[in-house]
Amino acid sequence: MLDDALLSDESRLIAADHDGILRAVATAGAQVRATAEAAREAGVHRELAGLRPRALVLLTRPGTTESACRLMAALLTPTAPLPVIVSGVAPPWLGPLDVVVATHRGREGDPVEADVAESVHRAVRRGAHVVLTGPGEGPAAAAGAGRALAVTPRMTVGVPGEDLDGLDTATVLATGLAVAGALELLDLDLDDLADRLDAEAERDGPRGEAFVNPAKSLALRLAERTPLLWGADPVAGLLAGYGATVLATHAGVVAQATTAAAAGAQPALRARLVESSGEASIFADPFDDPAPAAPPPRLVLLAVREDLTTRRLVSDVGARHPGADVLEIDDVELAGEGPSPDALRAAVLATRLDFTAVYLGLALGARAPGVRTA
């Protein structure tokens, strides 16, 4: 049962957030600062500067970390002079000419952590340059001890006894961006990124009515609907995948994530979207006119890039589906083309999606008191 009034009542909203998930997603800017400082202390730029690696490998784990790594690869690939590979395990061909980036959570007895540790061990044994972000202890930290560049941010994020999925995305992105900066794959000021994420967290925070809060507004638009998240460009397509992951993680909502181009090849879905585009009549009787078996779809078009092709596609989809929500950054300070401005916009939108998913989950009562995910 949707409690839409909850989102406009700050005191009730904070009380409902008994696990502190809202506070956790609001730390995105702080995560970036802490990770950037830890990367400087670990000597990431000093050790990688001037290196011309054969490949950059981003090691993933299930959930939002994988989505964040794929987003990073999409940002870097168009201009990078080397392959950017996303993999769940260290590839067997790794060697001294490769750079590996991994994130761990220091959890003993976790099979995913054991897999990360095995990949780190394989990478350092083969002489690869490994950047490992996470706590100073745990299986992966032990596997890379003395050989990996250990980036250990001085802050903790998350809920005691619960997994960090959906809460440490900014740390994952900041690590990848720090490495990419050291390798001269992009030029992005992490302190500027942190400030942008702080501003977005302020904009999306629990204060204020839903109609002036972009994350609350989107959460209400997605309530009791089946979200269709379509990316207007390749980076936005990966961001859509991230959005689907956090909606499932924080709200228990299943969403479709694809690119607008791919959705164009799904005629039945497009027909269903057109069919359900009208709002429910105020005279509809829930007994005489029962709701359909599945929630009607709600289209959200995401745009990251600002090239002419993306702008035309956004305009075209908006004309064909006037009820669609467009999720983009309309800020002249973030304007521009290329991997660096794209990375800023993508990170800000990821934070907005985090807040949206948490608000929707709270309004739906998706997180019952005392329930842990791990």
Cα end-to-end distance, the chain, whole Å: 25
Q: φ and ψ at 84, to 5 degrees? A: -110, 115
Rounded Cα distance between 59 and 127, Å, is: 16
Give pLDDT tens digits for 196-207.
Answer: 999 999 999 998
- Residue linked to tokens 């359909």: 292
- Is the domain spanning 4-17+205-280+291-364 CATH 3.30.160.20? The answer is no
- Residue 327, SS3? strand
- Residue 217, SS3? helix
Give pLDDT tens digits for 293-315.
Answer: 678 999 999 999 999 999 999 99
42: tokens are 């670990």
Its CATH class, for the domain covering 27-192, is alpha beta
Mean pLDDT of 267-285: 69
Give pLDDT tens digits for 87-106.
Answer: 999 999 999 999 999 999 88
Which residue ranges make up each domain of the chain? 4-17+205-280+291-364, 27-192
Sign of the torsion formed by the C-alpha atoms of 140, 145, 148 and 149: positive
Instruction: Please report the pLDDT score of residue 282 as a whole number.
Output: 46
pLDDT band at 280 (very low <50, low <70, confident <90, very high): very low
pLDDT band at 342 (very low <50, low <70, confident <90, very high): very high
The neighbouring-strand residues paired with 226 are 297
281, pLDDT greater than 50: no
Q: How many CB atoms lie within 10 A of CB 217?
A: 18
Give pLDDT tens digits for 345-362.
Answer: 999 999 999 999 999 999
> Among residues of the chain, what percentage have pLDDT more than 90?
72
Give pLDDT tens digits for 52-74.
Answer: 999 999 999 888 899 999 999 99
Cα-based distances in Å from 197 to 28, 205, 360 = 6, 12, 20
282: tokens are 């105020």
Mean pLDDT of 190-195: 96
Helix (H) or strand (E) holding 132: strand 129-133
261: tokens are 């181009």
Q: How many residues does the chain have?
A: 374
The answer to whether 4-17+205-280+291-364 and 27-192 have equal CATH topology is: yes
Contact 153, 171 (CB under 8 A): yes
